[in-house]
Structure 1
Amino acid sequence: MPQESAVAGLLLAAGGGRRLGGRPKALLTYRGRLFVEHAAEELRAAGCAPVHVVLGAAADEVRARARLAGCALVGNPDWESGMASSLRAGLVSLPRGLGGALVALVDQPGIGAAAMARVAGAYRSPKTLAAAAYGGRRGHPVLLGAAHFPGVVRAARGDEGARGYLRGREIALVECGDVAAPDDIDEPGDLIDLPS
């Protein structure tokens, strides 16, 4: 049984990369590693445990190629319906007794362990809500205290993830602009300056 103060890592890595010509983002490379390997390792380095990785597009290929020892791999057959389905699948997969979950996106390789640890460090109780901020603007990763899991699972829709649930709630912002770059990799042009 996990400790009530434990923060799990939840990596959403199911997207099919539609705007990238159908290249699943989990299988893109960054500094010699697959995106999914890089992000999972950064969550571990940030002190998150356990780490659950939600897979969808090309899940069999990701399972075959990615080095994800020590991670729980969660299949999301409904991944094409949007990020919310992956968030729901991931939250439901987590063991009971956790304090919360740090939710990270596979397509933001510029966000590493330093920012993840900083946001995870904002945990105070299962009612905690916190998020990284970049120049004061909210971004990822997002820390969801376990008390919010049922509400997020009920409210998550389409590509909005937890946005609808979080709207109007008090969220502690943790400035991370000095240690991370929150750029999404969404289109082929976004890969040009990325170290492969």
Structure 2
Amino acid sequence: MGADNKLLQELRGRPILRHAVEAQLEARLAPVLVVTGHQRAEVEAVLADLPVRFVHNPDYASGLAGSLRAGVAALPPDAEAAVVSLGDMPNVTPQVIERLAESHLRQPDALAVVPTLFGHRGNPVLLARAIFPAVSLLSGDRGARRLLDEAGNRVVEVPFEDPAIAIDVDTPEALKALRG
């Protein structure tokens, strides 16, 4: 997206990030933490009227792992799990988030719950408390994918027919396609 912050780009009358955050809120999971990095003030401003808690990642330039670590570290001590949503996935619905949480409740020994589309993993991902210590050791621009691979059969895959779990906005062309 060049110098533009993709999360602040307008889509259907609202910033891309706002769509993702509103889906979390509509899923009725709490608390909703928003990890900020680049253009912190601007990001906080577009969400200022929502009941969310901001967690700033001063090391955001080092990659996704730093934001994931910051978010997990800020969770309340009684949080059994966390749904990690990506701010650049504006079409993920509250129903996707709710199904992940329901799957976790049915299989509490799972380390993670992930949505799949035609057998391919997507986002958001639910991470159970048991995997939080491993998350705290992540580094670089990779999320929890390696941890999920290592967890093997302790990862519950939930099949979806919703392509939103695989569509993110990384380029002007992707944004144009969503607007089209």
What's the TM-score once normalised by structure 1's chain length?
0.83
SS at match of 1:95: coil
Aligned AA (1:149) = F
Task: Report what 2:12 is aligned to.
Answer: 31
Partners in 2 of 1:145 and 1:90 — Cα distance? Answer: 13
Aligned residues: 176
CA contact (8 A) 1:132 1:141 kept: yes
Aligned AA (1:174) = V
Aligned AA (1:145) = A
Stretches of structure 2 lacking an aligned partner (at least 5 in a row):
none
1:122: how far off? Answer: 1.1
SS at match of 2:55: strand
CA contact (8 A) 2:81 2:127 kept: yes
Query: 1:90-124 deviations in whole A, cap 9, x for unaligned?
Result: 00011111110000101111212121111121113
Out of 86-95 and 127-136, give the one that drifted further.
127-136
Task: Report what 1:110 is aligned to.
Answer: 91
Task: Report what 2:21 is aligned to.
Answer: 40
Structure having the larger proportion of residues in helix: 2
CA contact (8 A) 2:27 2:95 kept: yes
Partners in 1 of 2:79 and 2:158 — Cα distance? Answer: 21
Partners in 2 of 1:94 and 1:43 — Cα distance? Answer: 15
1:81: how far off? Answer: 0.5
1:30: how far off? Answer: 2.0
CA contact (8 A) 1:26 1:36 kept: yes
Query: 1:149-175 deviations in whole A, cap 9, x for unaligned?
Result: 111111x22121111222221211111
Distance change (3 Å), C-alpha of 1:122 and 1:38: same
Distance change (3 Å), C-alpha of 1:135 and 1:150: same
Task: Report what 1:64 is aligned to.
Answer: 45
Task: Report what 1:152 is aligned to.
Answer: 135
Match of 1:183 among 157, 163, 167: 167
Stretches of structure 1 lacking an aligned partner (at least 5 in a row):
1-19
Structure having the larger proportion of residues in strand: 1
Runs of 4+ in 1 over 4 A off after TM superposition: none
Q: How does 1:127-142 map to 2 (within 5 A)?
A: 127-142=110-125
Task: Report what 1:6 is aligned to.
Answer: none
What's the TM-score once normalised by structure 2's chain length?
0.90
Partners in 1 of 2:65 and 2:175 — Cα distance? Answer: 25
Q: How does 1:4-15 map to 2 (within 5 A)?
A: none
Partners in 1 of 2:9 and 2:35 — Cα distance? Answer: 16
CA contact (8 A) 2:20 2:91 kept: no
**Once superposed, what is the RMSD of the aligned Cα atoms?**
1.8
Instruction: Percent identity, please.
Output: 37
